[in-house]
């Protein structure tokens, strides 16, 4: 949770009483295995780069978050959550009004916790557990109902599926030029050969660099960038037909086919 969060609150709307310090400092480094808090943000708010000593499960019951680290970018809609390992420097951009609900989890709280940044599916049970955890006062006894609720939350975290909502950020300067152009103009039709001519680099070399640094081909990275940009537009309420054309797809049906192949549902159903 960012230091500049102006309106951290409990789930029932009660303001946090420790206004003299950033609200998250009460939660992200204590002795409890799990501690949870809530904060609401206005549209387009961007947190400053920050980190936490404990892992963070970031979830928004309303609104969409774009979470970034030096390794890449993730889109996190309300049906998903973001796992952020402790010590990871990150920043978050809000799409729409965001009601963020965060659980801070000690690295030794449970076995088999994720060790890398990833987007998780949020089951109805996990969602309710996160909301219930926010109202648990700290500290709580190890043999209490509150402790058992937190343990169930940990059990659910290790069971939910990971999801393909990540856009890796390469370090190679030529690849960064390519990726920034695609991110700024998702409808760009420049091919690998076009980029080879522009940069004076053999297209096969560019392809090898993409595979080495992102685990994707050039085409796969561009497709993922377009889909994630489309998700952000859809979250803001834009029409599917407008998003499809602006992302460079020949028709809404072509966009819907690619979207369903990646996410398992059509664009119109993703945020429902």
> How many whole angstroms separate alpha carbon 18 and alpha carbon 225?
40
**What average pLDDT does the segment 107-118 reach?**
92
**Nearest to 175, CA basis, from 203, 206, 200:** 206
Nearest residue to 70 via CA among 42, 43, 51: 51
pLDDT above 50 for 20: no
DSSP one-letter string for 131-147: HHHHT--SS--TTSHHH
Contact 218, 173 (CB under 8 A): no
Helix (H/G/I), strand (E/B), else coil: 179: helix
What confidence category does residue 261 fall into, taking pLDDT thresholds of 50, 70 and 90? confident
Paired residues of 58 in beta bridges: 82, 102
Q: pLDDT band for position 264 (50/70/90)?
A: confident
Mean pLDDT of the chain: 88
> Which of 13, 91, 97 is CA-nearest to residue 51?
91
**How far is Cα 26 from Cα 94, in angstroms, rounded to an integer?**
23
> How many other CB atoms are found less than 10 A from the CB of residue 106?
20
- Domains of the chain (ranges; CATH) run 8-163 (2.60.120.280), 170-269 (1.10.10.60)
Contact 89, 49 (CB under 8 A): yes
- 3-class secondary structure per residue, 183-228: HHCCCCCCCHHHHHHHHCCCHHHHHHHHHHHHCCCHHHHHHHHHHH
Give residue 225's pLDDT.
93
Q: Helix (H, G, I), strand (E, B), or coil: what is residue 126?
A: helix
| Model confidence at 245: pLDDT above 80 | yes
For the chain, the distance separating the N- and C-terminal CA atoms, rounded to the nearest angstrom, is 26
Q: List pLDDT tens digits, range 161-193.
A: 888 789 999 999 999 999 999 999 998 889 999
């Amino acid at each position: 949770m960012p230091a500049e969060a102006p309106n951290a609150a409990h789930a029932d709307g009660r303001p946090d009483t420790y206004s003299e310090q950033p609200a998250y400092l009460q939660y992200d480094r204590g002795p409890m295995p799990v501690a949870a808090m809530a904060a609401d943000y206005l549209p387009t708010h961007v947190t400053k780069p920050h980190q936490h000593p404990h892992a963070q499960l970031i979830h928004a019951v309303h609104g969409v978050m774009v979470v970034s680290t030096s390794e890449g970018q993730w889109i996190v809609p309300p049906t998903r959550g973001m796992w952020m390992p402790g010590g990871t420097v990150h920043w978050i951009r809000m799409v729409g009004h965001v009601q963020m609900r965060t659980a801070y989890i000690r690295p030794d709280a449970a076995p088999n916790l994720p060790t890398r940044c990833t987007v998780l599916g949020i089951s109805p049970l996990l969602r309710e557990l996160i909301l219930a955890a926010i109202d648990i006062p700290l500290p709580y006894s190890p043999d209490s109902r509150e402790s058992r609720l937190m343990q169930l939350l940990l059990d659910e975290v290790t069971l939910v599926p990971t999801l393909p909502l990540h856009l890796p950020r390469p370090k190679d300067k030529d690849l960064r030029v390519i990726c920034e152009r695609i991110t700024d103009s998702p409808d760009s039709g420049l091919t690998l050969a076009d980029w080879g001519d522009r940069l004076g680099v053999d297209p096969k070399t560019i392809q090898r660099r993409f595979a080495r640094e992102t685990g994707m081909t050039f085409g796969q990275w561009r497709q993922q960038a377009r889909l994630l940009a489309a998700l952000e537009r859809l979250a803001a309420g834009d029409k599917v037909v407008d998003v499809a054309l602006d992302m460079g797809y020949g028709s809404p049906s072509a966009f819907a086919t690619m979207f369903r192949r990646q996410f398992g549902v059509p664009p119109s159903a993703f945020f429902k």
